[in-house]
Amino acid sequence: MAGATRELTVDLGERSYPILIGTGLLASAGSLFAERGFPVKAPILLVTDASVEERYAPTVERSLREAGYTVSRAVVASGESSKSLAVFDDLITAALEAGLDRKSTVIALGGGVVGDLAGFVAASYMRGVRFVQMPTTILAHDSSVGGKVAVNHRLAKNIIGAFYQPEFVLYDMDTLQSLPIREVRAGLSEVIKHGLIWNESFVQWCDDNAAKMLALDPDTLGYALYEGCKVKAAVVSKDERENDLRAILNLGHTIGHALEAVAGYGQLLHGEAIAIGMVGSARLAARFGYDPKISAETERIFRKFGLPVRIPSGIDPDAVMKAMQHDKKFTEGNMVFVVPTSLGSVEIRSDVPAAWVREIVEQLREENGEA
Amino acid sequence: MAGATRELTVDLGERSYPILIGTGLLASAGSLFAERGFPVKAPILLVTDASVEERYAPTVERSLREAGYTVSRAVVASGESSKSLAVFDDLITAALEAGLDRKSTVIALGGGVVGDLAGFVAASYMRGVRFVQMPTTILAHDSSVGGKVAVNHRLAKNIIGAFYQPEFVLYDMDTLQSLPIREVRAGLSEVIKHGLIWNESFVQWCDDNAAKMLALDPDTLGYALYEGCKVKAAVVSKDERENDLRAILNLGHTIGHALEAVAGYGQLLHGEAIAIGMVGSARLAARFGYDPKISAETERIFRKFGLPVRIPSGIDPDAVMKAMQHDKKFTEGNMVFVVPTSLGSVEIRSDVPAAWVREIVEQLREENGEA
Ligand SMILES: NC(=O)c1ccc[n+]([C@@H]2O[C@H](COP(=O)([O-])OP(=O)(O)OC[C@H]3O[C@@H](n4cnc5c(N)ncnc54)[C@H](O)[C@@H]3O)[C@@H](O)[C@H]2O)c1
Ligand SMILES: NC(=O)c1ccc[n+]([C@@H]2O[C@H](COP(=O)([O-])OP(=O)(O)OC[C@H]3O[C@@H](n4cnc5c(N)ncnc54)[C@H](O)[C@@H]3O)[C@@H](O)[C@H]2O)c1
Ligand SMILES: [Zn+2]
Ligand SMILES: [Zn+2]
């Protein structure tokens, strides 16, 4: 598996950083650290999860050690439940025991869970140490870029966190080969989202290259991840702290988050939930008078990728509506939604009648049979 | 109790903020929030502790409500043990239950414990909401300025935190009237520290005005707090993230922190421990060949304020040395110390032989009788 390494920059002034996407990259971790002036004296903490650890941690550690670094490994359980204050506390203990100092680095080697969790450790340990992302899922092309890090609280997801940018993102696509196919699909859902909010021709390209993307063809996938990261980076560069523009990244997420919460975390994957959510947003677009083709095409493309476009039976529409009201995006009768205006651009609307949302949630129920 | 309100600015570019020091200020909280454009729609969380709550929270809340704000109160137990991840978690729950959104404000009404804890809540809740400090101890003239916020970990103090500046500091000296005298003295220890690192004539002034300061004479105290905050603000403006200069604020803290840890947190107050630590640093200065008067004068002034200048019997010097080695400031045989070069200036030395420190720790033991 060869091919050129693609590189792009997240442009944030002094805090700008590169994203490297390619194959065989984990083995070059040590030389990258050395080139970029990470001090050899400062111990490194590699945070990873139980599904990733054995396959990929040794390569990174060997490479770092060969370059003279000291590295300790902290392994958390796989899955969303590790994004908790309790596991965060364990990682602070691990950092202390590994002797991390203010010049140290925390590496996140894993999917979005490890990235968000280890990122919050990096942001908080000694009020902030260096941070490097090594994403190992497709979804993490999204989560590893942009600096949102967080853990969950019993009552709310991602409610405890920081904006904390990594110093670089090292995206070794070889790791994606071991991903379960359902995770592949769910990750591609966010790739397509990046097209839908920003880049019509990329949506077209995804539509044309669905089979190769799903087969993880390295060059096709490399391009897809590069384009996905490019949209994310462009948006984040313009609005790091989500004062306005960055909110467009939430396309499909209002309904999506509610579905995840109601289904019970882990039942619906995040990427699956937001695929359904994006179909919902496209239907809202139609209600606002935009071309109904947006909705039909959105649905067709997600089906092509094997992603769900209907709310699983057993999920109660009332519970979904209620979950959205807990979401920050709700205000008095009207709701705030990212709504597509074409297959490649969106607008943020704060005048979405809750009644329309309710109707669409009803329509999208699997048992309504219109699928 | 009248007198003018003193105002000064912490100069941090876009994140600059004012410190207001005076009497009767808590009752003007509401109008200050309104003037500064805090949105009335966004709920406020007032964090305070059990010793402060009844006396001062109602004044702040009444004032905010009269100005149209919604405010909820969260009360933590008094004392250092509240600076924990567990209490932090409780406050996140309180914030969620109070409906705080991204435009909301967290107010810290209390001493350094409440300030550090509530500050970390403000920094982390939804990745950061607005933050206001309302210090009620003398020590908090230090902790409320400069944006260091944190909680403790079982293995280390202040290890989990952020740099997060408040939008303003409202310092109502009326609250200081209910402080136990031991807390008054301990707080004045940091005021004097600010003189010792930066401003010789202010050290002189403290020496001359010790009695009035201890009596909490409003105008004398107002000036003392103003000068103390001014030094802190000047240092922080030049080096917000403690890359170099800010470290001078740690005068007396290497020994001080070790004493606190060994005595058991709460046995020695922070200000007491660093008074002893500053005496230790002054003795180091003598070892480096600086005028021995520095040491004699430092000791005389702290005695005048009723602060301890000897290590209480029962504290084991070995344990103190060991605790310092856990401290970030230790490297191979030599230690890093802030050392006075006169009564109003310091230097940072990384060539302090651990053996000298050991000797001085021995000398300073109460039972050595040389007191
Ligand atoms: N910070 C952000 O901007 C942002 C954006 C989107 C999502 N997220 C967060 O990301 C998380 C979801 O990310 P995710 O989908 O990557 O989840 P994940 O990290 O849980 O990974 C999914 C599953 O795949 C396993 N896995 C990871 N890499 C693997 C590999 N190479 N081979 C085999 N198995 C592997 C994991 O153990 C896990 O079981 C959520 O917590 C979400 O909130 C954050
Ligand atoms: N962030 C920083 O830069 C910084 C700097 C120095 C110290 N600190 C932190 O500050 C903390 C110490 O601060 P502190 O000395 O204010 O401790 P504190 O907050 O515990 O207050 C001391 C005691 O006085 C009580 N109290 C507070 N205000 C009172 C009032 N007006 N009347 C009566 N009782 C009152 C408290 O309940 C407590 O029992 C430590 O945790 C230390 O780490 C932080
Ligand atoms: Zn997402
Ligand atoms: Zn201090």
Count CB neighbours of B1 within 10 A: 11
Give the side-chain half-sphere CA count within 13 A for B158. Answer: 17
Mean pLDDT (chain A) is: 95
pLDDT, chain B, mean: 95
CATH number, domain containing residue A326: 1.20.1090.10
Torsion sign over Cα A285, A308, A184, A277: positive
In a mutational test of the B interface, the residue from A90, A96, A127, A239 whose CB has the highest number of chain B CBs within 10 Å is A127
Q: Is the pLDDT of residue B1 over 50?
A: no
Are residue B245 and residue B282 in the same domain, yes or no? yes
Cα A308 to Cα A93: distance, rounded to the nearest angstrom: 40
Verify that A202 and A147 share a domain, yes or no.
no
Picking from B153, B156, B162, the nearest residue to A123 by CB comes out as B162
Query: Of B155, B178, B201, which residue is a domain's last?
Result: B178
C-beta of residue B186 within 8 angstroms of C-beta of residue B278: no
Q: Where are the alpha helices (DSSP H) in chain B?
A: 29-35, 53-66, 85-97, 112-124, 140-143, 181-198, 200-208, 210-214, 218-238, 253-263, 270-287, 293-304, 317-326, 354-363
Rounded distance between C-alpha atoms, residue A168 and residue A38, angstroms:
12
Chain B residue with Cα closest to A97 = B155
Measuring CA to CA, which residue among B194, B245, B180, B250 is closest to residue B223?
B194
Q: What is the pLDDT of residues B223-250, one digit of tens each?
A: 999 999 999 999 999 999 998 999 999 9
The Cα–Cα gap between A31 and A51 comes to 26
Q: Is the pLDDT at B313 greater than 80, yes or no?
A: yes
Q: Are B125 and A159 in contact (CB under 8 A)?
A: yes
CATH number, residue B140:
3.40.50.1970
Query: Do the domain assignments include residue B291?
Result: yes
Cα–Cα distance, B205 to A184 (Å, whole number): 69
Distance CA(A70)–CA(B285), nearest Å, equals 36
Beta bridge partner(s), residue B149: B162
A285 and A356 Cβ atoms separated by less than 8 Å: no
A203 HSE (CA, 13 A, CB side):
20
B164 is a domain residue: yes
A148 is in an annotated binding site: yes
Mutate to test the interface with A, among B41, B45, B124 (most CBs of A within 10 A): B124
CA distance B274 to B98: 38
Closest CA to A361 of A248, A254, A250: A254
Catalytic residue numbers of A, as ranges:
127, 148, 190, 232, 242, 246, 250, 253, 257, 270
What does DSSP assign to residue A154?
Answer: T
Q: Give the distance between the most distant pair of CA atoms in chain A.
A: 62
Query: DSSP assignment, residue B244?
Result: S
Annotated binding site of B for Zn(2+): 190, 253, 270
Do A159 and A86 belong together in one domain?
Answer: yes
**pLDDT (tens digit, 9 = 90+) per residue, B247-267?**
999 999 999 999 998 998 668
How many domains would you assign to chain B? 2
Within 6 Å (CB) of ligand 1, which residues are found? A 49, 51-52, 78-80, 83, 110-114, 116, 136-137, 139-140, 142-143, 146, 148, 158, 175-176, 178-179, 183, 270
Residues B100-136 pLDDT 10s: 999 999 999 999 999 999 999 999 999 999 999 999 9
Question: Annotated catalytic, B322?
Answer: no
Residues A350 and A259 in one domain: yes
Lookup result for tokens 């995040």: A270
| Per-residue burial over A340-364, b = 16 or more CB atoms within 10 Å of its CB, e = otherwise | beebbebeebeebebebbbebbeeb
Is the per-residue pLDDT at B157 higher than 90? no
Q: How far is A156 from chain B (nearest CA, A)?
A: 8
pLDDT in tens, B75-95: 999 999 999 999 999 999 999
Residue B155 CB coordination number (10 Å) = 12
Asked if residue A1 belongs to a domain, the reply is: no
Judge whether A32 and A166 are in contact, CB under 8 Å.
no
DSSP state of A334: E
Are residue A133 and residue A213 in the same domain, yes or no?
no
In terms of domains, do A267 and A142 share one?
no
What distance lies between CA A283 and its chain's CA centroid? 24
Q: Is there a contact between B125 and A160 if contact means CB atoms under 8 Å apart?
A: yes
Q: With an 8 Å Cβ cutoff, are A328 and B102 in contact?
A: yes
- B144 with B217, same domain: the answer is no
Share of chain B above pLDDT 70, in %: 96
- Among candidate residues A127, A149, A178, the one where a domain is terminated: A178
Residues A137 and A204 in one domain: no
Do B115 and B237 sit in the same domain of this protein? Answer: no
Q: Which of A89, A150, A153 sits opposite B127 (nearest CB)?
A: A150
* Strands of A17-22's sheet in order across: A6-10, A17-22, A168-172, A130-135, A105-110, A44-49, A71-76
With CA atoms as reference, report the closest residue to A133 among A60, A199, A196, A195. A60
Which residue of A124, A125, A350 to mutate against B (max B Cβ within 10 Å)? A124
How much is the pLDDT for A1? 44
**Which long-range CB contacts under 8 A does B63-66 form with residues at least 24 apart?**
B63/B26, B63/B27, B63/B28, B63/B29, B63/B30, B63/B31, B64/B29, B64/B30, B64/B33, B65/B30, B66/B30
Average pLDDT for residues B148-176, to the nearest whole number? Answer: 96
pLDDT in tens, A208-264: 999 999 999 999 999 999 999 999 999 999 999 998 999 999 999 999 999 998 998
**In this complex, which of A125, A148, A154 lies closest to B160 when CB atoms are compared?**
A125
Q: What is the pLDDT of residues B43-67, one digit of tens each?
A: 999 999 999 999 999 999 999 999 9
Instruction: Please report which confidence band the pLDDT of residue B327 belongs to, taking 50, 70 and 90 as the band edges.
Output: low
**CB within 8 Å: A123 and B161:** no
Structure tokens at A64: 């770092």
The nearest alpha carbon in chain A to B84 belongs to A89
Atom number of ligand 1 nearest to Cα A49: 37
Per the domain annotation, does B1 fall within a domain? no
Instruction: State whether A189 and A317 are in the same domain.
Output: yes
pLDDT tens digit string along A154-175? 988 899 999 999 999 999 999 9
DSSP result, B330-348: EETTEEEEEEEEETTEEEE
Q: Which helix (H) or strand (E) segment is B145 a member of?
A: none
Tell whether ipTM is more than 0.90: yes
Q: Which of B183, B199, B227, B250 is catalytic?
A: B250
CB-based burial of residue A38 (10 Å sphere; 0-12 exposed, 13-18 middle, 19+ buried)?
buried
Of B88, B96, B155, Cβ closest to residue A155 = B96
| pLDDT tens-digit readout, A285-334 | 999 999 999 999 999 999 999 999 999 999 999 999 998 886 554 555 78
Q: Rounded distance, CA B261 to CA B31, Å? A: 42
| Ligand nearest to the CA of residue B150, numbered in listed order | 2
Given a contact cutoff of 8 angstroms between Cβ atoms, the answer to whether A296 and A279 are in contact is no
Residue nearest to atom 34 of ligand 1 (CA): A179
CA A93 to chain centre: 27
B294 & B346 share domain: yes
Distance, CA of A319 to CA of A257 (rounded, Å): 12
Q: Is A36 helix (H, G, I), strand (E, B) or coil?
A: coil
Among A178, A196, A214, give the residue marking a domain's end: A178
Active-site annotation holds for B141: no
Rounded to 10°, the helix B270-287/B181-198 angle is 30
Residue of B nearest to A125 (CA): B160
Taking a C-beta distance cutoff of 8 angstroms, is the pair B42, B104 a contact?
yes
Host domain of residue B67: 6-178
Whether residues A356 and A213 share a domain: the answer is yes
Nearest in space to A153 (alpha carbons), one of A325, A326, A337? A326
- Single pTM value for the model: 0.95
B127 is annotated as an active-site residue: yes
- Residues of chain B contacting residue A94, judged by C-beta atoms under 8 Å apart: none
Output phi, psi for B8, to 5 deg: -145, 165
Bridge partners, B156 (sequence order)? B153
């109008």: which residue's tokens?
A: B31
Identify all chain A residues contacting B45, using CB atoms and an 8 Å cutoff. Answer: none
Rounded to an integer, the average pLDDT of A178-194 is 98
Say how many Å lie between the CA of residue B172 and the centre of ligand 2. Answer: 15
Residue with tokens 């105008």: B219
Q: Among A114, A151, A164, A183, which is best to mutate for testing ligand 1, by the most ligand atoms less than 8 A from CB?
A: A183
The answer to whether position A195 is within a domain reads yes
Residue A3 pLDDT class (50, 70, 90 cuts): confident
Q: Which residue has the higher pLDDT, A49 or B327?
A: A49
* Parallel, antiparallel or unpaired: strands B105-110 and B130-135: parallel
Q: Give domain status of residue B337, yes or no.
A: yes
Q: List the single residue in B85, B102, B128 with the smallest CB-CB distance to A85.
A: B85
Summarize the annotated binding site of B as residue ranges: 78-83, 112-116, 136-137, 148, 157, 190, 253, 270
Out of A84, A143, A157, A259, mutate this one to test ligand 1's pocket (max ligand atoms within 8 Å of CB): namely A143
Residue type, B330: F
* Top-confidence residue, B33 or B261: B33
